[in-house]
Structure 1
């Protein structure tokens, strides 16, 4: 569609002004191979929002040790969960499906998706939107709980791309939705369906969020508070006690102190206390990924069973559940108020 009917006769054709929504998730390598993982980790771990150590100290460690050692092992873990039918990671698959489902509900809106690290990049999608005539763009970081390491990093990437444009679109960024009733209801609905399909009833359910260095929290990052509120609201919705559903943090990296308790230690502790049937839910991820499928459903399961457990299940992330698309539609319509 163009503006040809409303332009002077000698004016070059331009695309009609449109409103757009860009969903952004963390990122993924292009393939479960060491080279692809190395490129992904280089971009990810070079972000000062992720690792805020002095560059003179961090970059030699990153390029001299981590990028030479870690990619091969990480690639093997990606291979365990890679979706062969579409040749993409679960995170890429579900983010794409979420965008496609949202587009079907937002008629006349250009809905796209991007990865903060990897492909398709935030800059590439924003440039494509601009070329398509999108003058108003809502960016939805797919992180329910705000952190400078996630939400703020997406905003950095958005404005790094936009500041290179001579004619900039209007940009809005959606806020965290850690306590939104539709988000809590989506978590509850996915949980109820999954547990109803199991052959056992969990004796405990660990509410596991991605970890964060304690230092970031001490500097004022609200992530821990957002996680705690999500956990409390989910417990209230499901009728769980804090003892039945403790909160924990996974994916620790490096030597400094991280938020506690750690998920892996919590799983082993519960097994040691006699818990034999365990479930883990990961509300901080809106799409299943290596942290949920490999770290929890594979490694966490093995750890629990080796410690004496008898039954284990990882509750799926929101993925493409109908409640998830309803949540995204609500966020998009609310944050584009006055545009649509």
Structure 2
């Protein structure tokens, strides 16, 4: 989406400027939400471009480029785009010609734009960007500046902070600002992993799912995207914030400690990642006699390949193959009204002093 709010029709000129001074667009405040990203298609070259950008990010893979890039370009990217492309094809929004992540992010931006306009009027411009792929963060910053935004609030849609998610999204935003002759004032929204409204929205989604089941799950698995263990040792707070989100969710649900577990998914590469690994843990649970589980993904603001294909595919299969009988995936909060309210609360807090 681009510039959803009504635009004032009269451009402005600096006070006391000569008549031939170029007109300036009306002053506005930009709110730019950002998600991880998506390939433009599930064909080989679209997937290769996307994966190359993603896996070349030193925040994601911090191995020396002298060692990593030859392996990535000559080995990994010759085969992985085919496998990833098949997975994307299974979940692709064929009607819209885009990934579910793109569809959901557009819907989130549209609802946030409507809420912002209702609260602050045409002074606010809401748009979305992707850290990898299109639309790029740089293109959206440029568009906002051209539209008159002299202040931009940048909001990475990750509840918990990690260097490989929030930090790299902020890096792309700051790099985009470096290209602007007249830089807008800028702010970034901090993680909202313990926001009461976010926890309430998560709990409501679990309650709805459980109430629709014939029998309640014996265990709720909170599956978070993983990170190498050494990132934790280097000071990344992600693991601690995930654990706190699980605890707050359990307390909000009023469930016993034994009924809620924290696991980590999406391991990549040979080194040890945060444990327990979701795909192995659900199999272990089934082998010990657990027959009914539900899985929620609190680290994802929108359903994507890691939830729709990995959790609801590979991880489901691991549980059922090991003897499980009932596996329920609880969708991400996506554009649920309670989620939008939580995001708006974070936006409102971080616009303090810019809007009345």
Match of 2:177 in 1: 162
TM-score (norm 1): 0.98
- Please, what TM-score do these two structures have when normalized by structure 2? 0.93
> For the residues of structure 2 that align with 1:4 and 1:119, how far apart are their CA atoms?
32
Residue 197 of structure 1: how far off its partner (Å): 2.0
Distance in 2 of aligned mates of 1:31 and 1:175: 31
d(CA) in 2 for partners of 1:114, 1:305: 37
Q: Alignment partner for residue 3 of structure 1, among 11, 16, 22?
A: 11
Stretch of structure 1 that moved more, 306-315 or 137-146? 306-315
Equivalent of residue 23 in structure 1, options 30, 33, 36: 33
Cα distance, 1:165 vs structure 2: 1.1
Q: Paired residue for 1:173? A: 188
Cα distance in 2 between the residues matched to 1:319 and 1:4: 38
- Taking the aligned partners of 1:213 and 1:4, their CA distance within structure 2 comes to 51
- Aligned equivalents of 2:34 and 2:28: distance in 1? 19
Q: Within 5 Å, which residues of 2 pair with 1:30-109?
A: 30-107=40-117, 108=122, 109=124
Equivalent residue for 2:5? none
- 1:190, 1:321 within 8 Å by CA — same for their partners in 2? no
CA contact (8 A) 2:13 2:24 kept: no
Deviates most, 196-205 or 265-274: 196-205
> Is residue 229 of structure 1 aligned with residue 237 of structure 2?
no
Question: Paired residue for 1:129, among 116, 140, 144?
Answer: 144
Task: Note if 1:337 corresponds to 2:352.
Answer: yes
Match of 1:322 in 2: 337
The alpha carbon displacement at 1:99 in A equals 0.5
The one-character-per-residue Cα deviations of 1:22-74 (angstroms, maximum 9, x if unpaired) are: 00010111112221111100000011000111111111111011111100000
CA distance in 2, matches of 1:268, 1:308: 8
CA drift at 1:236: 0.5
Secondary structure in 2 aligned to 1:246? strand
**Offset of residue 198 of structure 1:** 2.6
Q: CA offsets per residue over residues 89-135 of structure 1, 9 Å max, x none? A: 11111111101000001112100000000000000000000000000
CA distance in 2, matches of 1:66, 1:221: 27
Q: How many residues align?
A: 340
* Secondary structure at 1:294 match in 2: helix
Offset from partner CA, 1:156-193 (integer Å, 9 cap, x none): 10111111111100110000111110110110111111
Instruction: State the Cα deviation string for residues 228-274 of structure 1 (Å, max 9, x = none).
Output: 11011001011223321111000000000101010011100110011
Query: Partners of 1:184 and 1:318 in 2: how far apart?
Result: 11
Structure 2 residue runs of 5 or longer lacking an equivalent are 1-7
Q: Which residue of 2 aligns with 1:275?
A: 290
Q: Is the 8 A contact 1:99 1:113 kept in 2?
A: yes
CA distance in 2 between counterparts of 1:336 and 1:292 reads 31
Q: Distance in 2 between matches of 1:3 and 1:31?
A: 39
Answer whether contact 2:201 2:338 (CA < 8 A) is retained: yes
Cα gap change, 1:165/1:5 in structure 2, threshold over 3 Å: closer, same or farther?
closer
The farther-off stretch of 81-90 and 181-190 is 81-90
